Structure 1
Amino acid sequence: MTTTIRPATAADATAVLRLFDDAIAWFVSIGNTRQWGTEPFSTQQKQVDRVTGWVAEPGAWVAEHPDAGVVGALILGDATDYVPAATEPELYVKVLIGSRDPRAKGTGRALLAFADEQAKAAGVRMLRVDCYAGATGDLVRFYESCGYVTTDTFLVGDWPGQVLARIVGA
């Protein structure tokens, strides 16, 4: 069955929180406790408020599977304040998360391809994203496999981050 991408609504906050909770549980099970910590987002008011705000943004999208419900989320907008400024107009991937459900396979890539379309529609050619650069580096390699190139590294406290960029159509 086909996953569809649609604008997010406030009603999607619970489903997106579940995606984060499931990811955190999986990270804990593999020993990756530094990316987002060990506590479910749904039990932290700060994170509940954050996710609720994200899904209300104009650049908020969810991927929905007919049998599994919301299996991914993409939030596009302006870069976060902790990364270096872009050198040209851009669209920033603020949040990308996908389900571990086997029916969601390929959702992250599909959402990034959708981000390409959104950048083209906005008349910009640069997409950037930042991610956790610790642990095994698998997340950085995932973005590289989707056509992103590493640019800047940064720290938020002791949390290592990596900025990656992609020129749409390149």
Structure 2
Amino acid sequence: MVDYDLLSKGISSNRRQGKIESVVYTLKRIEKVGIAPLDLVDETSVKLMRKQFRSMATSLQVEKAIDLMEILAGLGFKIKELVDPFDVVKSCVDISNPQLAIRYAYLLPHTEILLCRIIHGFGKKGDMVSVMTAYEACKQILDTPNMYICRTMVDVCGLCGDYVKSRYIYEA
């Protein structure tokens, strides 16, 4: 027997104290026992989580934030409601981590739009290696060529001064 009220109060207490990592791991364990984690989280709790995730996502803790969001996504939480996706992408670009940005993009329903933003962010920074990493991720998730991604790639190749690569991408 599990006392839902006591469990909910414990989770709320941890959230108020800023122990978001503890909250997420508790929700994960609760789900394994057969209790729906979403039933224990009210709107006030989501607001607190949103505030904590936003501060993590715009700091050097972005990797920890994405790790926790991956767990929450597996539990049925709507990740887009927790943070502004473009803030997370900007943080990943700032720390030059395309794999982290791609992991985050896969958590959201409109992955290809976010991948365009990732490509453009690394292109503005002049990081063609990261651009190509994100582009390869795009090719893996899409069955057919996407004109927005191709156009973004051509624009980014121009930003980086690699006009030959833009022609190769356009012809592919």
Give the alignment's TM-score, normalised by structure 1. 0.31
Normalized per residue, the structure richer in helix is 2
Give the alignment's TM-score, normalised by structure 2. 0.31
Normalized per residue, the structure richer in strand is 1
